[in-house]
C-alpha cells in the first residue's frame, strides 16, 4: 500500500484558489474539487482519493467533491458489474469513516450501486451520494439521463443503459455547509430543464460530477457548465475524471468551479489528478439574482407550452 501512496502523490496537482481579499472573505466556506484518474483497482483509487481529501482538509475545505465513477472504471460490462456494491458495502463504509475522521462533508459523485433486483437483473444505478461529517448519508440521487451515444466520426461509443438503470426522479436540493446543493451527474448537464428544476427548488449550487470523454469535453464541457451557472445564477461545481483509465477509455479532466456570473474560478487542468479549492460566497448568488431577476421575468409554464 505504501508504494501506491508514494506513486499517487507524485501525480497530484494541488491548486488552491485564494480569496482576493483574505480579511473580508474569511467567513466564506471552502469547497474542494477533486480530479481523479481511476482504474479498476478500487484499493489504489481509494488510497489516492484519501490523500487528496486529507490535503483538502489541511487547506480548510468544509466539503469535498469527487467525480463520477470515483470508486472505479472497469474495462468491460462484466467487470463493471462484478466490482459493484450496495450502499451498505465496504466502499461507502470506508468513505464514511474518512468523513468522520476529517470532519468533512463529501459529495461522492457517482457510485456503482447494485440495483434492487440485483440477483434477477444484474443491473446497477449510477448513484450520487452526499455524506455529512458524521459519515451519514443525507441524500442520494440516481442518474436520470444515461449516456447512450454513438459518434463514429469522433471515435465515441458508449451505452450506459446496457448495464445501468435510469434513476426514477430528481431529488430536492440538500442543505450543506457551503449552501443548498442540487445534485446531478455528468450527462444531466446537457438538459437545461433539469438544472432549472433544481434552481426553482432552492438550489444555490449545482454540482455535476463527471467523466466526460476527451472529444465531448473539449467541445462542450466548459461552455455547458458556464451556461448552467449563468441561466440559473448558481455556483456550479464539477469534479472530473482525467486521463487514461484503460486501453479504450480516457477522460477530459478540467474539474471546474463557475460562479453565478459565469466566471470560471477554478480549473484542475487536463493532465493529472489533483484538487482545486474555491470559496463559495452566497452573497454573490443573492446579489446576481437581485440585480438581474430572471425568475421574476420568466413567464409561467403555460406560456412556454403554448406552442
Q: What is the pLDDT of residues 222-276, one digit of tens each?
A: 999 999 999 999 999 999 999 999 988 999 999 999 999 999 999 999 999 999 9
Please report the pLDDT score of residue 11 as a whole number. Answer: 45
Answer yes or no: are the C-beta atoms of 49 and 34 closer than 8 Å.
yes
Give the per-residue pLDDT at 26: 59
CA distances from 214 to 33, 154, 206, 254, 270 (A): 19, 10, 22, 10, 9
pLDDT at position 9 = 36
- Distance (Å, rounded) from C-alpha 268 to C-alpha 271? 8
The segments of the chain whose pLDDT lies below 50 read 1-11, 15-24
Helix boundaries (H) for 84-180: 90-102, 118-121
Residues 6 or more apart whose CB falls under 8 angstroms from that of 210 comprise 67, 68, 109, 185, 186, 189, 221, 238, 239, 240, 241
* Cα distances (Å, whole numbers) of residue 107 to 87, 93, 128: 14, 14, 7
Determine which helix (DSSP H) or strand (DSSP E) holds 108, and give its type and residue range.
strand 105-114
Domains annotated for the chain, with CATH where assigned, are 2-18+27-290 (3.60.110.10)
Reading the block at residue 41, the C-alpha cell is 483497482
Q: Which active-site residues does the annotation give?
A: 68, 143, 186
Which residue is it, cell 469547497? Answer: 31
Amino acid at each position: 500500500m505504501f508504494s501506491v501512496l508514494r506513486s499517487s502523490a507524485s501525480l497530484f496537482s494541488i491548486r488552491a484558489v485564494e480569496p482576493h481579499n483574505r480579511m473580508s472573505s474569511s467567513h466564506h466556506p471552502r469547497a474542494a474539487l477533486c480530479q481523479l484518474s481511476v482504474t479498476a483497482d478500487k484499493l489504489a483509487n481509494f488510497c489516492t482519493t484519501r490523500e487528496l481529501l486529507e490535503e483538502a482538509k489541511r487547506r480548510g475545505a468544509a466539503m469535498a467533491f469527487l467525480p463520477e465513477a470515483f470508486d472505479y472504471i472497469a474495462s468491460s460490462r462484466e467487470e463493471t458489474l462484478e466490482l459493484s456494491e450496495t450502499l451498505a458495502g465496504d466502499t461507502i463504509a470506508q468513505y464514511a469513516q474518512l468523513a468522520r475522521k476529517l470532519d468533512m462533508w463529501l459529495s461522492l459523485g457517482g457510485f456503482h450501486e447494485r440495483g434492487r433486483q440485483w440477483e434477477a437483473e444484474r443491473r446497477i444505478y449510477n448513484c450520487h451520494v452526499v455524506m455529512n461529517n458524521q459519515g451519514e448519508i443525507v441524500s442520494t440521487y440516481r442518474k436520470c439521463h444515461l449516456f447512450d451515444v454513438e459518434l463514429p466520426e469522433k471515435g465515441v461509443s458508449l451505452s450506459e443503459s446496457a448495464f445501468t438503470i435510469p434513476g426514477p426522479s430528481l431529488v430536492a436540493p440538500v442543505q450543506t455547509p457551503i449552501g443548498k446543493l442540487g445534485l446531478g451527474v455528468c450527462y444531466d448537464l446537457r438538459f437545461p430543464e433539469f438544472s432549472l428544476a433544481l434552481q426553482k427548488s432552492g438550489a444555490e449550487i449545482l454540482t455535476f460530477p463527471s467523466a466526460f470523454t476527451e472529444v465531448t469535453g473539449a467541445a462542450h464541457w466548459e461552455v455547458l457548465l458556464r451556461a448552467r451557472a449563468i441561466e440559473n445564477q448558481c455556483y456550479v461545481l464539477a469534479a472530473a475524471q482525467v486521463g487514461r483509465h484503460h486501453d479504450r477509455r480516457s477522460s477530459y479532466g478540467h474539474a471546474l468551479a463557475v460562479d453565478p456570473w459565469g466566471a470560471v474560478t477554478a480549473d484542475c487542468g487536463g493532465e493529472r489528478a489533483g484538487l482545486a479549492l474555491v470559496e463559495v460566497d452566497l452573497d454573490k448568488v443573492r446579489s446576481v439574482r437581485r440585480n438581474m431577476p430572471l425568475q421574476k421575468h420568466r413567464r409561467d409554464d403555460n406560456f412556454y407550452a403554448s406552442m
